[in-house]
Structure 1
Amino acid sequence: MAASGGRRRGGSGGAAPAGRDVVLAVGLVVVCLGGAALFVRTAAEAGGGLPVVPILAVAALAGGAALARWSAAPGPRPPGAPPAAPPAAPPAAGAPGRSDPAPPLPEVGPEAVDHEAVDPDGFEHAVAALCARDGCHRVEVVGGAGDLGADVVAVTSEGRRVVIQCKHYGEGHRVGSQDLQRFGGTCFAVHEADVAVVVTTSGFTAPAAEYAAACGIVCVDGDALAAWTGARTGPPWQSAPADAAPGEVRHPVR
C-alpha cells in the first residue's frame, strides 16, 4: 500500500504545474477584459465618446494571444521524466555509417623501380599497383605497425592469395636471411598465403635466397622487379606452382 500511495503522489505532482498554468492564463485574459471595461467606463463618465466594442475586441484578442503563447511554452518536466534528446548531428567523414571511397592505386611507370624516386610507402603502393595491373583483385596495402611482415595482400584471377613483403633498400643493402626468417614465420601460418613474395629494390644474400627456396618464398630482386614492371616477365606468383603446398621448395625469381 505504501508503494502504491507513493506512485499516486508522484503522478499528481507532475500534473499540478500544468493545471496552475491554465488558471494563470485564464486569469490573465480576465484581467485584460476587466481593465478594458474599467477604462471604457471611466472615459464614458468623463464624457468621452469612445467606441466600446472595438476596445473590448482588442482586449479579447490580446488576452487570447497571451493565452496561446502561454500554453505553447514548454512547461516543467514531471519528476522522473527523461531529458529531451538533443538533435542528432550528421555523421562525420570516416565515421561508421558513412562510406568513403578507397584511394585509387597509382599508375605504374618506370619510376616504380627507382628507389631514389619513391619512399617506402610509395614503393608499397607501386607494388600493389603492379598486382592490380596484372589481374589481381582485392588488392590492399596493409603495411604499417603490427603488420607482421605483410605489406601488400592481393588475390589472383585464379583465386590464390598473395602476401608480399616490400623491402625498400639501397643498392648496397641486401635482404638478409633474418628478414626472410621473420617473414617466413608469418606469411603462411598467420596471413594464410598461397603465394608468399619478398620484393626488394636491391638484392638478397645467398643464405636468404636459400632459406626462401626451402620455405617456398618467391624472391624478386631489383632486376626482376624492373622486368616485372616493364612486362618483360610474368608476375611473381606465376613462378610458384599452383599445386605446391607451403614449405615445398620453389625456385626464386632472379
Structure 2
Amino acid sequence: MTEVDALTWQEFEQYVADLCRRDGCTRVVVSGGSGDLGADVVGYLADGRKLVVQCKKYAPHRSVSSQDMQKFVGTARLEHGADVALFVTTCRTFTKAALGLALRQDIVALHRDLLGSWVKGARLEALIPLNGGGGGTKRRPSS
C-alpha cells in the first residue's frame, strides 16, 4: 500500500482502472475529476454488468463520511446506470452511517484492507461479496 499511498488522486483513479482491467473488466474508462458526477471509473465486468467506481484517495486515518456516500448513491445507478456500484478508498474505514447507507443501497464499500487484498492479487469478483448486502448482485443485465 506504500506504492498506492504515494499516488496522486488522479493516478489512484488510473490505478483502480488498471486493477479492473487486470481482473477482466472491459471498456474501462477513467472519467474522474470535476463534473464526473461520482463516476471516476466506468467499465463492464466479465459477466456484462456495468461497473461504476467512486475513488477516494484519503489518508489512512480518515473515514469516508455519510455525505461522501450519499453523493455516490445519488448518481451511481440513476445517472450512470450501474449494475455494480463500487466505492473504493485508501482509508481504513467508512463511518457507521456511510457503511449502513452503502449496505442499504447495494453499494460495495471497499476500504483500505480490501483494497490491499485487491492490490496483492485478489480478484474483484471475489471482493465484491465481502461487503455483505452491498455486493451489487441483485441486478443483472437484460438479455
Of all paired residues, the percent bearing the same amino acid is 42
CA-to-partner distance for each residue in 1:199-253, whole Å, 9 max, x for gaps? 000021111100100000000001100001112x3315742354x049xxxxxxx
Unaligned segments of structure 1, at least 5 residues: 1-109, 247-254
Higher radius of gyration, 1 or 2: 1
Deviations 1:95-131 (A, max 9, x none): xxxxxxxxxxxxxxx655x32x100000000000000
Which has the larger share of strand? Answer: 2
| More contact order relative to length (CA 8 Å, sep ≥ 6) | 2
Within 2, Cα distance between the matches of 1:171 and 1:238? 21
Match of 1:136 among 21, 25, 43: 25
Residue in 2 that maps onto 1:149: 38
Partner of 2:60: helix, strand, or coil?
coil
SS in 2 for 1:189: coil
Map of 2:119 onto structure 1: 229
- Of 53, 59, 71, which residue of structure 2 is paired with 1:182? 71
CA distance in 1, matches of 2:25, 2:112: 22
Structure 1 position 169 matched with structure 2 position 76: no
Name the residue aligned to 1:122: 11
**Which ranges in structure 2 are unaligned for 5 or more consecutive residues?**
130-134
Please identify which structure carries the higher helix content: 1
Once residues 182 and 241 of structure 1 are traced to their aligned partners in structure 2, the CA distance between those partners, rounded to angstroms, is 17
Counterpart residue type for residue 174 of structure 1:
S
Whether contact under 8 Å (2:107, 2:136) holds in the other structure is no
The partner residue of 1:204 within 86, 94, 100 is 94
Residue 104 of structure 2 aligns to a residue in which SS? helix
| Matching residue's letter, 2:27 | R
Q: Which runs of 4+ in 1 moved over 3 A?
A: none
RMSD of aligned Cα (Å): 1.7
Aligned partner (choices 192, 201, 207) of residue 81 of structure 2: 192
Q: Tell me, in whole angstroms, the C-alpha distance in 1 between the residues paired with 2:102 and 2:109.
A: 7
Number of residue pairs aligned between Structure 1 and Structure 2: 133
2:71 partner amino acid: R
Q: What TM-score comes out, normalization by structure 2 length?
A: 0.86
Deviation at 1:145, TM superposition (A): 1.4
Partner of 1:186, secondary structure, is helix
Partner Cα separation in structure 1 for residue 102 and residue 32 of structure 2:
21
Counterpart contact for 2:108–2:128, Cα < 8 Å: no
